[in-house]
């Protein structure tokens, strides 16, 4: 995207070209970057500064509508749409879903693999484990499939509406939730009285200079501290500079609570377990 709309409030808006926006000083960029949207479809947009290896600064969006003129299909975007369609199929055909937090981070899509057969094989084993743990057989879901965080994140970013579904979702062998109560976009995050975790998701606007705090693009009052898992996360997802996180999609199993002054909501990764988080870097539009 070469242009983006910046909407500070209902009465103040301006279209910036990427060339004008990158010439703003750092303070102005930080103030404006969470107010950007696609001028064609209105989808939330992000700004990525120029990279250390010479990539140009750009605007982009993970929320383009499918018929948006600014949406440029690519193999990676098509892959995300396939993941969204696969999760939609799960929602239609299955009784429940088990989150596989141990699913590997794929380097590339493997060829000649039937996703349904792969999911089915893993689901059978997972179902047996759940049956062993539950005390009441009549409460066991008869159709249980397993999905990794990558596919769930892509489906949410691509509008699968998993976060509005009544599908049962297992986060462990003994813990299940209705999907609509488990998956929470950052913009709707609220501290839970009993401190129960949720699957929070959305996109990253930017980080602090030390790359130890993530700031969601979906809202301005939420912060995600990652200092304790930073090294492992960055190694796992190939993150080397701040630009790698700008516009990235993220999903994490975490706890939401207020900061000391109750001015900002903090979402902290549950159990400091990096496997309960997935980050998918944005591609230049």
The answer to whether 37 and 5 are in contact (CB under 8 A) is: yes
Closest listed residue to residue 155, CA positions, set 115, 194, 127? 115
Percent of the chain with pLDDT over 70: 87
Place of tokens 């493997």: 110
Please tell me the predicted confidence (pLDDT) of residue 243: 92
Give Cα 182 distance to the centre of its chain.
14
pLDDT of 284 reads 60
Average pLDDT over residues 84-112: 81
Chain segment 151-188, per-residue pLDDT in tens: 999 999 988 899 999 999 999 888 999 999 999 999 99
Local structure of residue 246 (DSSP, 8 states): T
Q: In the 8-state DSSP scheme, what is residue 29? A: H
pTM, 2 dp: 0.77
The string of pLDDT tens digits covering residues 232-248 is 999 999 999 999 999 99
Q: Which residues contact 48 (CB under 8 A, 6 or more apart)?
A: 57, 58, 59, 60, 243, 246, 247, 282, 284
Q: How far is Cα 130 from Cα 174, in angstroms, rounded to an integer?
A: 7
DSSP letter assigned to residue 139: G
Of 140, 129, 200, 137, nearest to 168 by C-alpha is 140
Is residue 103 within 8 A of residue 152, CB to CB? The reply is: no
CA separation, residue 110 to residues 97, 113, 210 (Å):
23, 7, 35
List of E strands, 10-143: 12-17, 36-37, 45-48, 58-61, 96-100
Is pLDDT of 123 > 90? Answer: no
Q: What is the pLDDT of residues 28-74, one digit of tens each?
A: 998 999 999 999 999 999 999 888 888 889 998 888 887 888 877 77
């Amino acid at each position: 995207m070469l242009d983006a709309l910046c909407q500070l409030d209902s009465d103040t808006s301006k279209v910036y070209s990427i060339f004008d926006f990158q010439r703003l000083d750092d303070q102005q960029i930080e103030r404006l970057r969470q107010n950007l949207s696609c001028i064609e479809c209105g989808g939330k947009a992000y700004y990525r500064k120029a990279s250390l290896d010479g990539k140009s600064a750009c605007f982009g969006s993970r929320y383009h509508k499918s018929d948006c003129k600014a949406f440029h299909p690519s193999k990676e975007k098509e892959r995300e749409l396939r993941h969204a369609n696969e999760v939609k199929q799960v929602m239609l055909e299955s009784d429940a879903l088990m989150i596989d937090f141990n699913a590997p981070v794929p380097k590339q899509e493997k060829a000649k693999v039937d996703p349904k057969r792969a999911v089915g094989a893993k689901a059978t084993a997972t179902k047996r484990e759940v049956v062993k743990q539950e005390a009441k057989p009549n409460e066991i879901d008869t159709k249980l499939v397993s999905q990794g965080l990558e596919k769930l994140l892509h489906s949410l970013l691509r509008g699968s509406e998993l976060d509005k579904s009544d599908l049962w979702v297992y986060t462990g062998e003994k813990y299940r939730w209705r999907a609509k109560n488990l998956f929470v976009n950052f913009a709707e995050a609220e501290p839970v009285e009993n401190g129960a975790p949720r699957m929070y998701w959305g996109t990253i606007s930017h980080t602090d200079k030390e790359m130890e705090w993530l700031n969601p693009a979906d809202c301005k009052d939420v912060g995600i501290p990652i200092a304790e898992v930073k090294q492992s996360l960055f190694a796992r997802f190939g993150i080397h500079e701040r630009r790698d996180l700008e516009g990235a999609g993220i999903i994490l199993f975490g706890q939401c609570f207020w900061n000391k002054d109750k001015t900002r909501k903090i979402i902290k990764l549950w159990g400091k377990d990096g496997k309960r988080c997935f980050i998918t870097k944005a591609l230049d539009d």
